[in-house]
């Protein structure tokens, strides 16, 4: 894979390329769309593959990449990918569960062009931990959100409604009191672990902005409209150049098949907003276990 020699025309207005660099995660969230967890792997994409995709994204004029997973910081090269993207003039968002943050990582998070995103489920530690499947995850995530704010690292948070009666409103209030200003809420999507027995992936569960302003590359190299549409690939970056895939027939057909946002609804840009969800603000197409709302 080589760097494109000329900057092409805008590729379908894609503003963010989500890079799901690993399936591994310390948590095992009950609704995780990528079904990530401690036993998952980094997938088939090599570090060179990821660097090549980042290089091509810059050449295509895509202004931002998002490192997601799984938990992106468990990939041994995540800081290398961040530095590579920044060196090419791209912005980088790291979508982390913030369960573990090594002291040395703050230097990377504080670099110009880097932002953080995470998920938060409740102001009740037991409820939060029940959703993530990891005791102590509430406290660790909260402490690291507070540290990011103290260090003036831009942070945004998504709250995903997973359980009946979940303390979503209270979680928002708590985050606001901490100083978080970018907060969105969403429901759990019927994808991955959130699917009911016998249920199959369906396009009406997709984010209304998938392929429209965003694209994603999965750990096996599949190109999809966003991580929600992971079951509907439009080719593989290990086999074809990113540019070839984005102007190809499979990508166009995928985009045409995903329901548009509801007419007249509040698009809550740049968040995705599924057509059947009305005018609510969706945040977290991605949860803490997988990640990445724009």
Residue matched to tokens 């150049």? 241
**How far apart, in whole angstroms, are the C-alpha atoms of residue 255 and residue 24?**
28
Residue 8 lies in a domain: no
- φ and ψ at residue 194, rounded to 5 degrees: -80, -5
Q: For residue 113, give the nearest of 85, 75, 79 by alpha carbon.
A: 85
pLDDT tens digits, one per residue of 92-110: 999 999 999 999 999 999 9
Residue 217 has pLDDT above 60, yes or no: yes
Residue 232 lies in a domain: yes
Tokens (6 digits) for 165: 């009666």
The domain in which residue 123 lies consists of 16-257
Question: pTM of the prediction?
Answer: 0.84
Residue 279 lies in a domain: no
Residue 105 lies in a domain: yes
Instruction: Give me the CATH number covering residue 169.
Output: 3.20.20.70
Q: Please give the span between the terminal C-alpha atoms of the chain, in angstroms, as a whole number.
A: 27
Residue 68 lies in a domain: yes
Residue 276 lies in a domain: no
Q: What percent of the chain has pLDDT over 70?
A: 77
Residues in the chain: 294
Mean pLDDT, the chain, integer: 83
**How far apart, in whole angstroms, are the C-alpha atoms of residue 207 and residue 213?**
11
Banded pLDDT at 31 (limits 50, 70, 90): confident
Give the three-class secondary structure for 92. strand
Banded pLDDT at 279 (limits 50, 70, 90): very low
- How many CA atoms does the CB half-sphere of 127 hold within 13 Å? 17
Contact 145, 103 (CB under 8 A): no
Domain count, the chain: 1
Give the three-class secondary structure for 170. helix
Residue 209 has pLDDT above 60, yes or no: yes
DSSP notation for 35-76:
--BTT----S--HHHHHHHHHHHHHTT--EEEEESS-GGGST
Residue 5 lies in a domain: no
Cβ-based neighbours of 124, under 8 Å, separated by 6 or more: 138, 167, 170
The predicted pLDDT at position 271 comes to 38
Q: For residue 188, give the nearest of 121, 136, 140 by alpha carbon.
A: 121
pLDDT tens digits, one per residue of 254-268: 888 887 765 444 333
**How far apart, in whole angstroms, are the C-alpha atoms of residue 93 and residue 64?**
8
Residue 3 lies in a domain: no
Mean pLDDT of 7-18: 72
Radius of gyration of the chain (CA): 18
């Amino acid at each position: 894979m080589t760097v494109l020699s000329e900057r092409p025309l805008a590729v379908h207005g894609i503003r963010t390329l989500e890079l799901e660099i690993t399936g591994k995660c310390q948590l095992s969230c009950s609704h995780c769309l990528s079904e990530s967890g401690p036993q998952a792997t980094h997938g088939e994409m090599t570090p060179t593959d990821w660097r090549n995709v980042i290089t091509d994204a810059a050449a295509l004029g895509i202004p931002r990449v998002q490192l997601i997973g799984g938990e992106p910081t468990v990939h041994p090269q995540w800081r290398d990918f961040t530095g590579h993207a920044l060196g090419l003039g791209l912005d980088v968002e790291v979508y982390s569960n913030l369960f573990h943050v090594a002291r040395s990582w703050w230097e990377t998070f504080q670099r110009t062009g880097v932002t953080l995103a995470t998920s938060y489920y409740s102001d009740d530690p037991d409820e939060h931990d029940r959703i993530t499947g990891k005791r102590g995850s509430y406290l660790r995530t909260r402490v690291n959100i507070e540290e990011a704010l103290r260090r003036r690292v831009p942070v945004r948070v998504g709250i995903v409604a997973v359980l009946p009666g979940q303390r979503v409103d209270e979680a928002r209030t708590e985050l606001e009191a901490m100083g978080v200003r970018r907060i969105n809420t969403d429901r759990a999507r019927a994808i991955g672990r959130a699917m009911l027995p016998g249920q199959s992936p369906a396009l009406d569960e997709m984010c209304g902005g998938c392929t429209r302003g965003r694209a994603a590359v999965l750990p096996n190299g599949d190109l999809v409209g966003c991580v929600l549409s992971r079951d509907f690939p439009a080719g593989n970056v290990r086999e074809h150049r990113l540019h070839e895939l984005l102007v190809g027939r499979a990508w166009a057909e995928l985009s045409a098949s995903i329901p548009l946002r509801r007419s007249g609804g509040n698009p809550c840009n740049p968040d995705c907003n599924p057509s059947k969800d009305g005018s609510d603000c969706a945040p977290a197409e991605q949860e803490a276990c997988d990640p990445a709302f724009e």
